[in-house]
């Protein structure tokens, strides 16, 4: 069986690698990069190497400097930084922000190496970023991939829709180069059947459709173009493009088709099923002196606030459930999970009836990581931070399975199996 040479960018604590290797040992990471410029201690990278070894091809360096060493590969994966697309960041700058601009490092690698397959993950808001010019950033990404000969699929996936314990919505992007069989088959179908074949690719035939089955779609759809006939270059896309994209879509030869799909849902895992059995340490329980802060953070508000320029405005927001329901999947976990705050999870401990936060092991379970995966010497607050930054591992396994079953394996002339 042919090895699928994989490069993992923005590797974090290794979520992509765990997911792909659980799908098949044919996925072999030959180069990985993780570097957090804002931190003196590189805890995520240390966790990665604690599990996968301190190899010369495990690189802790700014990707702008490290990309020159990326070897030839078949599959590029990465959860490129999402802060500039996230709804949790006020006035997010999108692809023009400090973190969002890291897309261009991926673009440079694709231009140089042209791997046959690409798998990327980001926040759900990516497809409509920025708010003032909806769809601009994602259109830039699509144009970059088009110029390098890729067809693209995307889906916004809520992990809870497919049985997992967290309502975590993320955009997954799968691209395949024009030298692959799946590209050629898809291109031929589009030439013959047009939008009908693009729709069928979203609903049935595509890699993401196989990984995450859908039951129906809304009657609305978007058709657009991103090729040279409409936009001369990337700069004109950035200046002029505005398109409202839906939660699923495809691009073939510069033609875009997007539609809202309805997932083929299975019963989600409730939060209670990922809790640790038995007693947990006392420091996870809420302290009496912190209760006013928790109540304020979780409660409804309508209050006058002051801007930096001295002007005033009214801020209002509704309450959130406090404590969390144990009978439903959890809300999305964020990097601020260790703090007293509105988005942090608080539950009523089943054994004691007291209020407490989730433990690091429970947070790892929400993302499908093995227990104590981040227990590699980092501070406890960083264990929460790393899980808030991570993806839901079983989703990657499903995509890995679909890549193998749909696109990456075919027969060559003498009957042996080869990787496209």
pLDDT value for 38: 82
pLDDT value for 419: 38
Would you tell me how many other CB atoms lie within 10 Å of the CB of residue 148?
A: 18
Instruction: Please return the burial class of 279, using the count of CB atoms within 10 Å of its CB with bins 0-12, 13-18 and 19+.
Output: exposed
Kindly name the residue from 60, 82, 144, 363 that is annotated as catalytic: 82
List the beta bridge partners of residue 76. Answer: 7, 118
pLDDT, block means (10 residues), the chain with 420 residues: 94 98 97 92 97 96 96 95 48 48 92 97 90 87 96 98 97 97 96 96 97 93 90 88 92 96 94 96 97 96 93 94 97 96 97 97 98 97 97 98 78 36
Which secondary structure element, helix H or strand E, spans residue 154, and what is its range? strand 150-158
357 and 284 in contact (C-beta within 8 Å)?
Answer: yes
pLDDT value for 296: 96
Tokens at residue 184, please? Answer: 């050629």
pLDDT value for 37: 87
pLDDT value for 411: 37
82 is catalytic: yes
Tokens at residue 383, please? Answer: 């264990």
The CATH number fitting domain 271-389, selected from 3.40.50.300, 3.90.120.10, 3.40.109.10, 2.40.50.140: 3.90.120.10
Cis? peptide before 323, omega within 30° of 0: yes
Superfamily of chain region 4-266+393-419:
Vaccinia Virus protein VP39 (3.40.50.150)
pLDDT value for 378: 97
Q: How far apart are CA 14 and CA 79, in angstroms?
A: 10
Tokens at residue 116, please? Answer: 């046959």
Q: How far apart are CA 51 and CA 42, in angstroms?
A: 15
- DSSP secondary structure letter of residue 212: S
Delimit the domains of the chain by residue range: 4-266+393-419, 271-389
Tokens at residue 123, please? Answer: 């926040």
- Range 49-53, long-range pairs (CB < 8 A, 24+ positions): 50/376, 50/377, 51/14, 51/373, 51/376, 52/14, 52/17
Q: How far apart are CA 401 and CA 395, in angstroms?
A: 10
Q: Whole-model pTM?
A: 0.92
Q: How far apart are CA 272 and CA 362, in angstroms?
A: 10
Q: How far apart are CA 95 and CA 234, in angstroms?
A: 12
Q: How far apart are CA 282 and CA 382, in angstroms?
A: 19
pLDDT value for 418: 34
Half-sphere exposure at residue 229, Cβ-oriented, CA atoms within 13 angstroms: 5
Max distance between CA atoms of the chain, in angstroms, equals: 76
């Amino acid at each position: 069986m042919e090895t699928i040479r994989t490069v993992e960018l923005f590797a974090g604590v290794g979520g992509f690698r765990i997911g792909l290797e659980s799908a098949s040992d044919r996925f072999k990471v030959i180069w990985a990069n993780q570097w957090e410029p804002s931190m003196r201690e590189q805890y995520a990278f240390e966790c990665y190497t604690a599990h996968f070894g301190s190899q010369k091809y495990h690189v802790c360096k700014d990707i702008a400097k490290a990309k020159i060493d990326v070897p030839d590969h078949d599959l590029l994966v990465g959860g490129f930084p999402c802060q500039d697309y996230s709804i949790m960041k006020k006035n997010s700058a999108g692809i023009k922000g400090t973190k969002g601009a890291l897309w261009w490092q991926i673009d440079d690698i694709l231009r140089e190496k042209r791997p046959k397959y690409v798998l990327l993950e980001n926040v759900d808001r990516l497809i409509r970023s920025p708010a003032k010019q909806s769809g601009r950033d994602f259109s830039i990404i699509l144009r970059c991939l088009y110029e390098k000969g890729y067809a693209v699929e995307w889906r916004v996936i809520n992990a809870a829709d497919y049985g997992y314990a967290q309502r975590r919505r993320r955009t997954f992007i799968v691209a395949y180069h024009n030298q692959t069989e799946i590209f050629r088959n898809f291109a031929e179908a589009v030439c013959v059947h047009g939008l009908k074949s693009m729709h069928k690719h979203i609903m049935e035939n595509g890699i993401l459709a196989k990984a995450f089955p859908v039951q129906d779609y809304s009657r609305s759809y978007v058709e657009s173009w991103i090729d040279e006939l409409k936009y001369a270059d990337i700069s004109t896309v950035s200046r002029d493009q505005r398109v409202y994209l839906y939660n699923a879509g495809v691009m073939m030869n510069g033609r875009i088709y997007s539609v809202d799909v309805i997932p083929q849902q299975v019963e989600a895992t409730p939060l209670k099923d990922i809790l640790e059995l038995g007693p947990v340490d006392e420091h996870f329980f809420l302290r009496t002196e912190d209760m006013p802060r928790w109540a304020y953070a979780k409660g409804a508000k309508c209050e006058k606030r002051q801007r930096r320029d001295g002007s005033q405005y009214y801020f209002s927001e509704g309450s959130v459930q406090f404590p969390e329901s144990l009978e439903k999947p959890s809300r999305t976990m964020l990097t601020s999970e260790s703090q007293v705050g509105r988005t942090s999870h608080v539950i009523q401990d089943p054994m004691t009836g007291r209020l407490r936060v989730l433990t690091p092991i429970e947070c790892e379970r929400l993302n499908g990581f093995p227990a104590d995966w981040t227990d590699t010497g980092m501070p406890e607050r960083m264990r929460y931070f790393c899980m808030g930054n991570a993806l839901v591992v079983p989703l990657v396994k499903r995509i890995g399975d679909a890549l193998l079953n749909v696109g990456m394996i075919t027969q060559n002339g003498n009957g042996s199996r080869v990787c496209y």
